[in-house]
Amino acid sequence: KEHLNPLRRINLEIFNYTEEKQKEIDDLKRMEVFRREFLANVSHELKTPLFAAQGFVHTLLDGAVKDKNVRTKFLKKAAKSLDGLNDLVQDLLTLSQLETGDITMRISSFDIRAMVEEIFDQLEGKAEKRTMTLAFDPNCPQAVYVQGDERRINQVMTNLITNAIKYNNDGGHVWVDFEVGKQEVTVFVKDDGLGIPAPDIKHIFERFYRVDKSRSKDSGGTGLGLAIVKHIIEGHKSHVMVTSTVGKGSTFSFKLPLAGAEEVNTKEQ
């Protein structure tokens, strides 16, 4: 009877798929949904600054703006949109390299405190505008030699410290601290800013996830900073921890291997 009913036979064949095959299909479906969502997100994120810049430039070309001051203001706005677009493309390239595993971590020993001092210098202007302070914890060791990819750890620290400034109140504080163990160093970036609601914490490392979209856009974020941080830290076989209380602040931390020379890791007060 079976051969007379091809539909039923096909049905049976489908049901005979092994669990493994079914899992493969589910994985492919999930990847397809993910790919579509990602493409939609990227297109949207690219379109917003591009349309803004396009609008300003075309208005200027049409000659409608006679006032020189207004013209300068329009040009500055167009430049800001294009800078944002540049940041986004840079972050997308970094993320795609990290995700395809095209890059190897170039491991060396370096003083992470000296690295953070330089980052503080670079971000001081940003912090001062909002009367914020960037500092090391009073008990933080003076020189802390760790092993890692110096350039990429610099990007991690820059992203975490920039976020600690962005998602903070005027007059707020950002602290960096290092806890030196026998084999590894725990790096902390703390702020007394806005904090992150508990249900959002597990999502903040996803691309383009923002707790408060308007707030993040105003402060010039690409929505990719923490996704990059997560990939780089995982590339060092470590992971990022977050503790946060809304209205009180957040602490991001991760571990790196201590560099061999113990004598350089002096704990000074």
Nearer to ligand ADP, 92 or 143 (CB): 92
Does 49 help bind ligand ADP (rule: CB under 6 A)?
no
Residue from 123, 132, 153, 204 touching ligand ADP (CB under 6 A): that is 204
- Per CB under 6 A, contacts with ligand ADP among 145-164 are 163-164
Q: Which residues of 252-261 are buried (b: 16+ CB within 10 A; e: fewer)?
A: bbbbbbbbee
SS3 172: coil
Does 140 help bind ligand ADP (rule: CB under 6 A)?
no
The rounded distance, in Å, linking the Cα atoms of 25 and 179 is 46
Does 250 help bind ligand ADP (rule: CB under 6 A)?
yes
Nearer to ligand ADP, 24 or 83 (CB): 83
Residue 136 CB, nearest distance to ligand ADP (Å)? Answer: 17
Residue from 56, 167, 178, 254 touching ligand ADP (CB under 6 A): that is 167
Sheet order of strands, 133-136 included: 133-136, 173-180, 184-191, 249-257, 241-245
Does 173 help bind ligand ADP (rule: CB under 6 A)?
no
Nearer to ligand ADP, 74 or 167 (CB): 167
Q: Which of 172, 207, 206 is nearest to 190 (CA)?
A: 172
- Per CB under 6 A, contacts with ligand ADP among 211-240 are 211-212, 216, 221-227
Residue from 105, 210, 235, 238 touching ligand ADP (CB under 6 A): that is 210
Q: Which residues of 35-71 are buried (b: 16+ CB within 10 A; e: fewer)?
A: eeeeeeebeebeeebeebbeebeeeeeeeebeeeeee
Instruction: Tell me the backbone φ, ψ of residue 134, rounded to 5 degrees.
Output: -110, 125
Residue nearest to ligand ADP according to CB distances in the complex: 221
Reading the block at residue 43, the tokens are 């297109």
Within 10 A of 172 (CB to CB), how many other CB atoms are there? Answer: 19
Name the site residues for ligand ADP (rule: CB under 6 A). 163-164, 167, 191, 193-196, 204, 209-212, 216, 221-227, 250
